[in-house]
Structure formats: structure tokens, C-alpha cells
């Protein structure tokens, strides 16, 4: 039975490690955590105190993104770090699907809002161009654009 838990642990950790960058220390901790959880589910072990604390206090825990940070925002999409969905905008999604405000989302993953926006680059530039075409952002611009 223990070998089955060990095999499952290896598969889960390999899958997660292939999607994210883990230091050797983080990798060892992840192996321990996954093994403890699987063993506890199997009735052979005890869930570690850190896992119990994380489950009890979800809001204060900083999560590690499952994908590299450089891949979060691209020209065509932004990746939701909670569920992995690729979307053009995330603000409404994180509010409806995950019940998070943008401030809470950034805090949960320890992200800088200026570096990791909730809107993809293409959508942002389209909206900017549309606003400029309508004369927004220029003194007396709306009147000039209307004429």
C-alpha cells in the first residue's frame, strides 16, 4: 500500500514540477506534503500541521503560481492563477468564479499589479485606441471628436 502512495506522490509532484519552477528545497517540501496528504487519505499517516493551517486560513496564505510568471500575461490572454483558464480579462472572472477582489488576488499570489495586469496587452491597446479615437484624454477632446 505504501508503494502505491509513493507512486502517486511521484506522479503528482512530477506533474506539478513540470508546470512550475521549484527549488530543491521546495521540491522536497512538496514531496513531503503530497505524501502526507495521500497517506492520510489512505489512513496511514497524519496530515502535517502546515497543511491544516493552510486549509483553515485560505486568505492569509501566499500561493505559488503553477506556471512561470513570465507566461501569465501575453498579447492574446491572461492566465488565471486560481484555475488556469486563459482569458482576455480576469477582473470579472476572479470575482464571479473565485469570489476574490483584484487586491486579494494580487495579495494571494504576491504579485505586483503594475507588472501583472488583469487584462491582456492586445485588449488593452484596443481599448486605448478606441478611447483616443473618441477624443478621451485630451482637453476638449470629446467636443472635437463629435464635430
Within a domain: 117:
no
| pLDDT value of residue 25 | 83
80-105 mean pLDDT = 90
pLDDT exceeds cutoff 50 at 140:
yes
pLDDT exceeds cutoff 70 at 114:
yes
Within a domain: 50:
yes
| pLDDT value of residue 123 | 93
122-147 mean pLDDT = 80
Within a domain: 120:
no
10 — pLDDT class (breaks 50, 70, 90): confident
pLDDT exceeds cutoff 80 at 129:
yes
| pLDDT value of residue 16 | 80
User: How much is the pTM?
Assistant: 0.52
- CA dist., res. 53 & res. 41, Å (int): 17
Within a domain: 142:
no
Within a domain: 80:
no
Measured CA to CA in angstroms, residue 56 lies from 1, 29, 45, 61, 102 at distances of 29, 19, 19, 10, 22
| pLDDT value of residue 72 | 87
Percent of the chain with pLDDT over 70: 80
What does the pLDDT look like over 20-79, one tens digit per residue? 777 888 888 888 888 888 887 776 544 444 444 444 444 456 777 777 788 888 899 999
Within a domain: 99:
no
Residues 76/119, Cβ–Cβ less than 8 Å: no
Average pLDDT, the chain: 79
Boundaries of domain holding 22? 2-56
| pLDDT value of residue 143 | 59
Within a domain: 31:
yes
How many domains is the chain built from? 1
Within a domain: 18:
yes
| pLDDT value of residue 1 | 53
Q: Which three three-digit cell numbers place residue 19?
A: 508546470
Amino acid at each position: 500500500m505504501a508503494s502505491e502512495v509513493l507512486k502517486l506522490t511521484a506522479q503528482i509532484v512530477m506533474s506539478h514540477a513540470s508546470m512550475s519552477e521549484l527549488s530543491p528545497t521546495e521540491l522536497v517540501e512538496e514531496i513531503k506534503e503530497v505524501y502526507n496528504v495521500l497517506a492520510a487519505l489512505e489512513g496511514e499517516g497524519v496530515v502535517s500541521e502546515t497543511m491544516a493551517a493552510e486549509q483553515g486560513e485560505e486568505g492569509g496564505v501566499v500561493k505559488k503560481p503553477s506556471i512561470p510568471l513570465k507566461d501569465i500575461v501575453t498579447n492574446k490572454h491572461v492566465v488565471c492563477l486560481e484555475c488556469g483558464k486563459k482569458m482576455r480579462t480576469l477582473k470579472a472572472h476572479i470575482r464571479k468564479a473565485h469570489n476574490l477582489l483584484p487586491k486579494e488576488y494580487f495579495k494571494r499570489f504576491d504579485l505586483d499589479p503594475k507588472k501583472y495586469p488583469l487584462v491582456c496587452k492586445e485588449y488593452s491597446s484596443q481599448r486605448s485606441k478606441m478611447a483616443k479615437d473618441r477624443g478621451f484624454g485630451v482637453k476638449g477632446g470629446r467636443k472635437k471628436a463629435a464635430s
